[in-house]
Amino acid sequence: MTELLVTNARIVYPATSGFVIDRGWLLARDGSIAGLGAGDPSPGTCQPSADLVEINASGMTLLPGLLNTHMHLYSMYSRGISTGRTSHGFLDVLQDLWWRLDRSLLKDACWMSAMFSGMDSLRCGTTTIVDHHASPNYIAGSLSTLSDALNKLGLRHVLSYEITDRNGIQGAMDGIEENLRFLDEVGTEGTGLASGMIGLHASFTVSDGTLAALRDRVGSRDVGYHIHVAEGAIDEEDSLRKYGKRIVARLDEAGLLGPRSIAVHCVGIDASERSLLAESKTSVVVNTMSNMNNAVGLPAVREMLDAGIQVGIGTDGYTTNMFEEFRNTLVGLRNRYQDPSGFWPEVQRAQIETNADIVSRLAGRPVGRLEPGAAADFILMDYTSPTFINAANAFGHMFFGMSSDLVDTVVVEGKVVVKDHEVLEVDRKSLERESLKVAKDVWEAFDRLV
Ligand SMILES: [Zn+2]
- What's the length of the chain? 450
From the CA atom positions of the chain, what is the Rg in Å? 21
449: in domain: no
Q: How far is the CA of 285 from the centre of ligand 1 (A)?
A: 10
301: in domain: yes
57 and 162 fall within a common domain: no
Q: How far is the CA of 76 from the centre of ligand 1 (A)?
A: 13
Summarize pLDDT for 84-118 with one digit per residue, the tens.
Answer: 999 999 999 999 999 999 999 999 999 999 999 99
265 and 384 fall within a common domain: no
250 and 328 fall within a common domain: yes
Q: How far is the CA of 131 from the centre of ligand 1 (A)?
A: 9
What is the average pLDDT across 200-214? 98
Q: How far is the CA of 419 from the centre of ligand 1 (A)?
A: 30
Number of domains in the chain: 2
31: in domain: yes
368: in domain: no
The type of residue at 145 is T
Q: How far is the CA of 223 from the centre of ligand 1 (A)?
A: 19
340 and 250 fall within a common domain: yes
Q: Is the pLDDT of residue 190 over 90?
A: no
Q: Is the pLDDT of residue 191 over 80?
A: no
Q: How far is the CA of 417 from the centre of ligand 1 (A)?
A: 27
445: in domain: no
CATH of the domain at 355: 3.20.20.140
Residue 126's domain comprises 66-363
Report helix angle 142-153 to 107-123, nearest 10: 30
CA geometry: angle 350, 68, 259, nearest 5 deg: 60
**Residue 187 — very low, low, confident or very high, per pLDDT cuts 50/70/90?**
confident
Summarize pLDDT for 126-160 with one digit per residue, the tens.
Answer: 999 999 999 999 999 999 999 999 999 999 999 99
CATH of the domain at 395: 2.30.40.10
pLDDT score at 66: 98
Provide the whole-model pTM.
0.97
207 and 307 fall within a common domain: yes
What single-letter DSSP state applies at residue 353?
Answer: I
**Residue 403 — very low, low, confident or very high, per pLDDT cuts 50/70/90?**
very high
Q: How far is the CA of 12 from the centre of ligand 1 (A)?
A: 31
Q: Is the pLDDT of residue 37 over 80?
A: yes
SS3 37: strand
308: in domain: yes
pLDDT score at 98: 94
25 sits in which H/E element:
strand 19-29
pLDDT score at 247: 98
Q: Which distant-in-sequence residues (6+ apart) come within 8 Å of 118 by Cβ? A: 73, 129, 149, 150, 153, 155
Q: Is the pLDDT of residue 189 over 80?
A: no
146 and 253 fall within a common domain: yes
Query: How far from the centroid of its chain's Cα atoms is residue 367's Cα?
Result: 13
Q: How far is the CA of 427 from the centre of ligand 1 (A)?
A: 29
**Residue 60 — very low, low, confident or very high, per pLDDT cuts 50/70/90?**
very high
Q: How far is the CA of 71 from the centre of ligand 1 (A)?
A: 6
58 and 155 fall within a common domain: no
Domain boundary among 314, 341, 363: 363
pLDDT score at 50: 83
Q: How far is the CA of 263 from the centre of ligand 1 (A)?
A: 10
314 and 295 fall within a common domain: yes
Q: How far is the CA of 73 from the centre of ligand 1 (A)?
A: 10
113 and 175 fall within a common domain: yes
54 and 133 fall within a common domain: no
189 and 51 fall within a common domain: no
24: in domain: yes
3-state helix, strand, coil in the chain (%, to 5): 40, 25, 35
**Residue 450 — very low, low, confident or very high, per pLDDT cuts 50/70/90?**
confident
Summarize pLDDT for 262-304 with one digit per residue, the tens.
Answer: 999 999 999 999 999 999 999 999 999 999 999 999 999 999 9
Q: How far is the CA of 317 from the centre of ligand 1 (A)?
A: 7
296 and 402 fall within a common domain: no
Q: How far is the CA of 97 from the centre of ligand 1 (A)?
A: 13
CA–CA gap between residue 398 and residue 402 (Å, rounded): 5
399: in domain: yes
What is the average pLDDT across 363-369? 96
Q: How far is the CA of 202 from the centre of ligand 1 (A)?
A: 9
Q: How far is the CA of 164 from the centre of ligand 1 (A)?
A: 13
pLDDT score at 49: 87
pLDDT score at 226: 98
Summarize pLDDT for 228-265 with one digit per residue, the tens.
Answer: 999 999 999 999 999 999 999 999 999 999 999 999 99
Q: How far is the CA of 151 from the centre of ligand 1 (A)?
A: 22
Domain boundary among 334, 363, 392: 363
Report helix angle 168-186 to 142-153, nearest 10: 40
Q: How far is the CA of 116 from the centre of ligand 1 (A)?
A: 18
Q: How far is the CA of 289 from the centre of ligand 1 (A)?
A: 12
